Chains A and B, each alone.
Chain A
Amino acid sequence: MRVTVLAAAAPAAEPSCYSRLRNEWFCLDYVTDRREEILDAAGEHLTITVLAVALGVALAVPLALLARRLPRLESTALGLSTGLYTIPSIALFPLLVPFTGLTMTTVVIGLGLYALTVLVRAFLEGLRSVPEDVREAARGLGYGAGRLLVRVELPLALPVVVAGLRVATVSTVALTTVGSLVSYGGLGNLIRDGVTTNFRAELLVASVLCVVIAFALDALLVLGQRALTPWTRAAGGARR
């Protein structure tokens, strides 16, 4: 600690590459000096994103099912999710804070609600893409609504659902930034700081990490989809 103080007290002739005077985009010193802070932020970012998407899915499924059961509710469900999406975080979070405090829960709920607009549609479209003859066969065999959904419709809806999930996940990675509003922004805290103080190295590193997280989660989803849909590419499959 002494070292830091000394370094700060007597700045070297050459300012560090991330000081405002140089402010370079690529600056390794920044990464080494702030490693812990960066890793913590990335970890928090990942946690929030995953929890928020999970919450979004948990909310989207019943909404989509309801909308499908009662087609008249479909536009209501879509409208609701759209409406939620348009609430600015600066208006939404203060509404949540009295109930959930300055906690990660607030962010997760907010982001989960934002993800709905993509997810509700994805589930609706996915269910719609299940071939009618398969559905008829399942119903004829005595599948109840629940099992029909879990065993037949969801697996077959997976390509479309995962497509939506990918968009939702990546959007949430970016949106997690708004969590800085209640101090849980993950990399968003750094990005925000980077933008307001024109801290290029910080901005770049945090953005790149966002991209890395998004890429990793995206790849994970694709791999998950492949693992869960072996029939789409079994040996000698269809022509395409």
Chain B
Amino acid sequence: MAEAPEQIPGERSARGAGTDSSMGRPPLSIAESVGKGRTLRGDAWRRLRKNRLAVAGLVWVAIMVLLAVSADLWVPRYLGDPVDIDTTQAASQSLQPPSWDHLLGTDRMSRDIASRIIYGARASLLVGAVAVGIMLVIGLVMGAVAAYYGGIWDSIIMRAADIFLAFPYVLFAIVLVGVMGGGSPTNVFLAIGLLGWPGIARIFRGSVLAVRENEYVDAARAMGASTPRILFRHIMPNAIAPLVVYATMSIGVAILAEAALSFLGMGVQPPAPSWGGMLSEARGYLFTAPWLMVYPGIGILTTVLAFVLLGDGLRDALDVRKKE
């Protein structure tokens, strides 16, 4: 609705813009008035860049995402198909140790492990992202409603969160996937997402409540700002920082959870490659073909570690107390 803007009130006297005010106060000189305004986000980014571990995490995440996204373009051609097998050749190509032909070796089904790890990264990152997306959507809505409306809504939502938090995470994820009938990635997303929302809701609620105490929120209300404006312009942007950290860490946790479920045979189903599934297959080859166990494990470890380090770095970078 494009309403014609009203005239700015009280435009009584034409005051020279930019010139000295009628009160004859010259603008104050500010020592650091050189250069453009430094945004908080810019500051955070600068602090993040100084944290070597966090940068390493970021780079690793980026590499993994890149590999996962671009996999279809080159992996099957150069490394071998992660799923398809030529059964007449398979026996002779089975369980090859790492070599120039197969950088990380082959599995029992003669498939290239490097290829499967890259496709496994795709599954892991997808599960991580979607599951965290689901928990963010539910958690944000629940948290915002609880914090902003308070009262009975707050009680109901927080009790519900308590109920979900009372369930041990791994156990309940396994039970939930078991009930829903394992084998579908959707169920894995849903289970992890459904179990993760209380954490998000709690943090966001706490964060909103804390931000709401700031006087600039009062200031906006005193100006007559509407509730959505206050929520989206003032509260959300300032309350989101801890969530960014939590969500980053949660991706790591979700990847671990997916790996555990796949390891137990309830996650991503073979022949689709997944890291947990590969480890499950590797169990019998701890001595005869240790590379089966080593590389997918390293894949999980490094990727989750990357998210953890990134989360750590973000926490430090976004911590307002650490400014100055």
Q: Tell me if chain B binds chain A.
A: no
B interface list, Cβ under 8 A from A: none
